[in-house]
């Protein structure tokens, strides 16, 4: 399946005169115009890159921030290795698996795992989201506390199915998948992000192929995050699942994660 094509118009804006050159570089990389009417804008400001819907009734911008806000709170108070995602990927005393997050999005789940000590590779195929994530990682790298965490996060932009099929380095022990559809998260933050991203991303209709590629590459297990009541992805059935209040982790074990 080819990557989803944008169904909405978007332009690149610089929010300060001294950022015009850097904004032009992003526009060239992403093939975005820098003027004209548009429904959305990718903006470069003092706080980094952000995606915003234009118009009087539009929600606020979305950007990646690993240092402050929700991610800082989760890093400090999220439950550490007792979190369900940590259990799902196999974090345990003495074991911090190498994880490939093949549907990285804005990098929240990968950041949680990196904060617990996992070496993370992230793949994001939508160029706008990959740009936001790249910018967020670059800004966080300079933070005294968070820099060591994002140093464990490597970003690859491209189609995950193709990248996994052509993988030439050591296989990841765990591959983590969180296909966009059919999530039903009702939080205001996620609803705002979905409103912004849906015109550019669409639904992950190739989830079965994504699962097949992951099962072919992972050395130890594949983990798929799903809404709690959603059906499993078409293909082999998971070995078991971990269920929370709103989400479920379907786990496809291949072999046990031994201690490092």
CATH number for the domain spanning 211: value is 3.40.50.150
Q: Is residue 259 part of a domain?
A: no
pLDDT given at position 204: 60
In a domain, 105, yes or no: yes
Q: What is the pLDDT of residue 75?
A: 63
pLDDT for the residue 177: 96
Which residue ranges of the chain lie beneath pLDDT 50? 1-6, 182-183, 260
The span from the CA of 50 to the CA of 129, in Å, is: 10
Kindly state whether residue 11 falls inside one of the protein's structural domains.
no
User: Is 12 inside a domain boundary?
Assistant: no
* 6 occurs within a structural domain: no
**27, part of any domain:** no
Question: Using CA atoms, how far apart are residues 65 and 43, in angstroms rounded to an integer?
Answer: 15
Residue 78 lies in a domain: yes
Domain count across the chain: 1
* Residue 140 structural domain: 70-253
Q: Which of 62, 8, 68, 63 is nearest to 192 (CA)?
A: 62
Per-residue pLDDT, 59: 81
Question: And the tokens for 245?
Answer: 């209040």
Q: What is the pLDDT of residue 2?
A: 39
DSSP structure string for the chain: -PPPPP-S-EEEEESSGGGHHHHHHHHHHHT--SSS--SEEEEEETTEEEEEE-STT----B---SSSTHHHHHHHHS-GGGSHHHHHHT-BTTB---EEESS-TTSHHHHHHHHTT--EEEEE-SHHHHHHHHHHHHHHHT-TTTHHHHTTEEEEES-HHHHHHT--SPPPSEEEE--STT-----HHHHHHHHHHHHHH---TTHHHHHHHHHHH-SSEEEEEEETTSPPPSSSPPSEEEE-SSEEEEEEESS-----
- The 10s digit of each residue's pLDDT in 190-231 is 566 777 777 777 656 689 999 999 999 999 999 999 988 889
- Does residue 40 form part of some domain? no
Binding residues for S-adenosyl-L-methionine, by number, are: 108-109, 124-125, 178
- Tell me the binding residues: 108-109, 124-125, 178
User: Are the C-beta atoms of 147 and 140 separated by less than 8 Å?
Assistant: yes
Least Cα distance to 7 among 179, 201, 205, 192 occurs for 201
């Amino acid at each position: 399946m080819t990557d989803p094509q944008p169904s909405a118009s978007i332009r690149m804006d610089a929010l300060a005169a001294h950022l015009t050159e850097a904004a032009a570089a992003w526009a060239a990389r992403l093939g975005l115009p820098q003027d004209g009417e548009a429904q959305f804008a990718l903006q470069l400001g003092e706080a980094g890159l952000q995606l915003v819907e234009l118009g009087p009734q539009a929600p606020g911008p979305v950007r990646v921030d690993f240092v402050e806000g929700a991610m800082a709170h989760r890093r400090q108070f999220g439950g550490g290795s007792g979190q369900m995602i940590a259990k799902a990927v196999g974090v345990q005393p003495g074991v911090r698996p190498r994880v490939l997050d093949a549907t990285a999005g804005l990098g929240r789940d990968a950041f949680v795992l990196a904060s617990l000590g996992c070496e993370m590779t992230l793949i994001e195929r939508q160029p706008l989201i990959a740009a936001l994530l790249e910018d967020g990682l670059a800004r966080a790298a300079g933070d005294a506390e968070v820099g060591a965490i994002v140093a464990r996060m490597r970003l690859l932009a491209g189609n995950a199915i193709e990248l996994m099929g052509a993988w030439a380095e050591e296989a990841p022990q765990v591959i983590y998948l969180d296909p966009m559809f059919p999530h039903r998260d009702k939080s205001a933050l996620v609803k705002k992000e979905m409103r912004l991203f849906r015109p550019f991303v669409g639904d992950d209709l190739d989830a079965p192929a994504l699962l097949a590629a992951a099962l072919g590459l992972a050395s130890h297990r594949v983990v798929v995050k799903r809404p709690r009541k959603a059906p499993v992805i078409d293909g082999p059935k998971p070995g078991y699942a971990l269920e929370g209040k709103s989400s479920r982790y379907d786990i496809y074990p291949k072999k046990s994660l031994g201690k490092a």
